[in-house]
Amino acid sequence: MAQKLLILRSSARAFGVTSARSFGTSTQLKQKSGLVLGLYAEDESGQSILTPAGKRFDQSVDGQLSKLIQSSGPVLKKGKTRVFFGLPGYSAVAVAGLGKKGLGYNDQENINEGLEAAAEGANLGVWKYQGPKSKKAKPLPVIEPFEKSGTNWSNGVAKADAQNFARRLMDTPANLMTPTIFAQEAASVLSKVNVEVEIHDQKWAEEKKMGSFLSVTRGSDEPPRFLEMSYFGASNSLSKPVVLVGKGVTFDTGGISLKPPGKMDEMRADMGGAACVVATLKAAATLKIPINIKGLVPLCENMPSGRATKPGDVVTAMNGKTIQIDNTDAEGRLILADALWYAAQSPNRVIVDMATLTGAMTVCLGQAAAGVFSNSNEMWEELQKASCQTGDRVWRFPLWNFYTKQISEIPGADLNNIGKGPGGGSCTAAAFLKEFVGDSVWMHLDIASVMSSSGSEVPYISKGMAGRPVRTLIQFLAQLGGSK
Ligand code: BES
Ligand code: MN
Ligand code: ZN
């Protein structure tokens, strides 16, 4: 039987995890039910304050819990937990420090610290990638709210589930998540929530003259795919969709510009943008966000072989622009170029692309945030607002002509796929993409920095692929659909 966790609504994502972990890993527990609840930092009299539901539990055990809390040591700090055994009804009761009551938006940290996110924190915190082992994996703890709650709880679960779905797609080894498998997986999951999925093949891409996309897939024996997904949530099925475009490189060796072997396995997650698009669509459909959304995902491997693109080769993209490929490891922008141009050919409200595009983004931001480039202040502000709510943050970078010059002032072709530098690798990559969006309102998220989690930087996401910033995207779409 799965272990069962009951959660009291508390006010921070961080706490699901630490508390949940003590249950998830405990082997001494005979009964299998635990309780997690929140504790605010002290009031003027130096007392910690249980959440309202926490107080009700405390009353039901004749105040035993509050006595234990008081006698167990110093006031619990924000994000720290303490586990108590022997209370009636549960094998263990964990108390998580929530910090001061009534926290709000912190403009230095760009985060709203006063929000309730127990469902998200708990469901993200207990999840871990379980690969194909011959021995059956231990079931993950089942989480339920302690008291009946409204849609807030189920909305939080839907968001966390979507992120966990993206994490699974990203962490799955590349031989088990080829373009073909990814496409099938997306179709099977999305068809259940009423999202239409078309799977285009190589011939389709050839007919569309997607020479830039096809130049990347040449070196691989795995056939490419191009996913086109449609969710109609608006009352008018003709209202302009938000188009989400995701980089779907199911493995990035670098191609002939081969990457060094250390940590190359991480490049199984180079389809993180694609995973975020599919997961976001799943959540949008589950939550019935009242807008139309289209998802476009070019999928391929980037491999070296006798047929692979060679440094210096020149190819022609769908929009007719010629590209000199001086580094075959800068492949993400090549597959996105055709996908963005394809997106820009149909009416749209905004095009948002997501891509694990440049290692330079991690140099800039570490794992703190994803980088954003946009030609629209309005869309940027909407996304930033969303990220303050979810805690999965974004930070804006420039799209100056300075960088466009660095990828366009070359003798042999219209564009070069790497910038002249020095430096600015994330910005030249974005400037390259800008050449393919026409007049569309557009936002590019470089999510390379948040692709994986070290297990310590973000306390509620264990080590592995992170599925970030799916919840921010969902929140952004909900805002476009009219929610605050
Ligand atoms: N997929 C990588 C970027 C990446 C690196 C994402 C590490 C996550 C972790 C991308 O295709 C790439 O190789 N980019 C190059 C660009 C360079 C050749 C201009 C990079 O970042 O080194
Ligand atoms: Mn690459
Ligand atoms: Zn890549």
Could you tell me if 163 and 277 lie in one domain? yes
Categorize the per-residue pLDDT at 13 as very low, low, confident or very high, splitting at 50, 70 and 90: low
Residue 139 counted as domain residue: no
Domain limit, last residue, from 126, 149, 176? 126
Could you tell me if 185 and 65 lie in one domain? no
In this prediction, residue 9 carries a pLDDT of 45
Q: What is the mean pLDDT of residues 51-55?
A: 92
Could you tell me if 209 and 118 lie in one domain? no
Q: What is the mean pLDDT of residues 187-205?
A: 98
Spatial separation of the C-alpha atoms in residues 390 and 350, rounded to whole Å: 21
Categorize the per-residue pLDDT at 149 as very low, low, confident or very high, splitting at 50, 70 and 90: confident
Could you tell me if 212 and 100 lie in one domain? no
Report which ligand 1 atom has the smallest distance to the Cα of 259.
Answer: 13
In this prediction, residue 24 carries a pLDDT of 31
In this prediction, residue 6 carries a pLDDT of 67
179-191 vs 272-286: helix crossing angle, rounded to 10 = 10
Categorize the per-residue pLDDT at 152 as very low, low, confident or very high, splitting at 50, 70 and 90: confident
The 8-class DSSP code of residue 364 comes to H
Report which ligand 1 atom has the smallest distance to the Cα of 327.
Answer: 18
Using the predicted structure, report yes or no on whether residue 20 has a pLDDT greater than 60.
no
Cβ-in-10-Å burial (0-12, 13-18, 19+) of 414 comes to middle
For residues 391 and 26, which has the higher predicted lDDT (pLDDT)? 391
116 lines ligand 1 (CB under 6 A): no
Residue 140 counted as domain residue: no
Q: Residue 335 is part of a domain; what is its CATH number?
A: 3.40.630.10
Domain limit, last residue, from 104, 126, 148? 126
In this prediction, residue 45 carries a pLDDT of 66
In this prediction, residue 313 carries a pLDDT of 98
363 φ, ψ (degrees, to nearest 5): -60, -40
Give first-to-last CA distance, the chain, whole Å: 40
Spatial separation of the C-alpha atoms in residues 431 and 450, rounded to whole Å: 21
127 φ, ψ (degrees, to nearest 5): -80, 140
For the stretch 42-51, pLDDT in tens is 766 667 899 9
Could you tell me if 109 and 238 lie in one domain? no
In this prediction, residue 99 carries a pLDDT of 87
In this prediction, residue 18 carries a pLDDT of 35
For the stretch 201-230, pLDDT in tens is 999 999 999 999 999 999 999 999 999 999
The three-point CA angle 164-15-96 to 5° equals 155
Residue 342 counted as domain residue: yes
**Cβ atoms within 10 A of the Cβ of 229, count?**
24
Residue 152 counted as domain residue: no
Counting ligand 1 atoms within 8 A of each CB, the residue from 300, 358, 449 with the most, and so the one to mutate, is: 358
Q: Residue 101 is part of a domain; what is its CATH number?
A: 3.40.220.10
Could you tell me if 97 and 167 lie in one domain? no
For the stretch 289-306, pLDDT in tens is 999 999 999 999 999 999
Using the predicted structure, report yes or no on whether residue 312 has a pLDDT greater than 60.
yes
329 lines ligand 1 (CB under 6 A): yes
331 lines ligand 1 (CB under 6 A): yes
In this prediction, residue 47 carries a pLDDT of 78
Domain limit, last residue, from 111, 126, 141? 126
For the stretch 155-165, pLDDT in tens is 999 999 999 99
Could you tell me if 245 and 110 lie in one domain? no
Q: Give me the number of domains the chain comprises.
A: 2
Could you tell me if 235 and 181 lie in one domain? yes
Residue 142 counted as domain residue: no
In this prediction, residue 278 carries a pLDDT of 99
Q: CB under 8 Å to 151, separation ≥6 — which residues?
A: none
In this prediction, residue 272 carries a pLDDT of 99
Using the predicted structure, report yes or no on whether residue 29 has a pLDDT greater than 90.
no
Could you tell me if 74 and 181 lie in one domain? no
Weakest mean pLDDT among 138-142, 451-455, 476-480: 138-142
Weakest mean pLDDT among 63-77, 234-248, 439-453: 63-77
Give the predicted TM-score (pTM) of the model: 0.94
CA of 332 relative to ligand 1 center, distance in Å: 8
Peptide bond into 469 cis (omega under 30): yes
For the stretch 244-281, pLDDT in tens is 999 999 999 999 999 999 999 999 999 999 999 999 99
In this prediction, residue 46 carries a pLDDT of 67
CA of 316 relative to ligand 2 center, distance in Å: 19
For residues 189 and 112, which has the higher predicted lDDT (pLDDT)? 189
Supply the mean pLDDT for the chain: 92
Q: What is the mean pLDDT of residues 127-134?
A: 93
269 lines ligand 1 (CB under 6 A): no
Could you tell me if 244 and 393 lie in one domain? yes
Could you tell me if 201 and 346 lie in one domain? yes
Using the predicted structure, report yes or no on whether residue 397 has a pLDDT greater than 70.
yes
Categorize the per-residue pLDDT at 379 as very low, low, confident or very high, splitting at 50, 70 and 90: very high
For residues 376 and 104, which has the higher predicted lDDT (pLDDT)? 376
Residue 398 counted as domain residue: yes
In this prediction, residue 138 carries a pLDDT of 85
Residue 147 counted as domain residue: no
E strand or H helix that includes residue 231: strand 225-232
Could you tell me if 92 and 183 lie in one domain? no
Residue 175 counted as domain residue: yes
Categorize the per-residue pLDDT at 103 as very low, low, confident or very high, splitting at 50, 70 and 90: confident
Spatial separation of the C-alpha atoms in residues 201 and 142, rounded to whole Å: 39
Q: Domain range for residue 214? A: 158-480
Counting ligand 1 atoms within 8 A of each CB, the residue from 263, 302, 329, 447 with the most, and so the one to mutate, is: 329
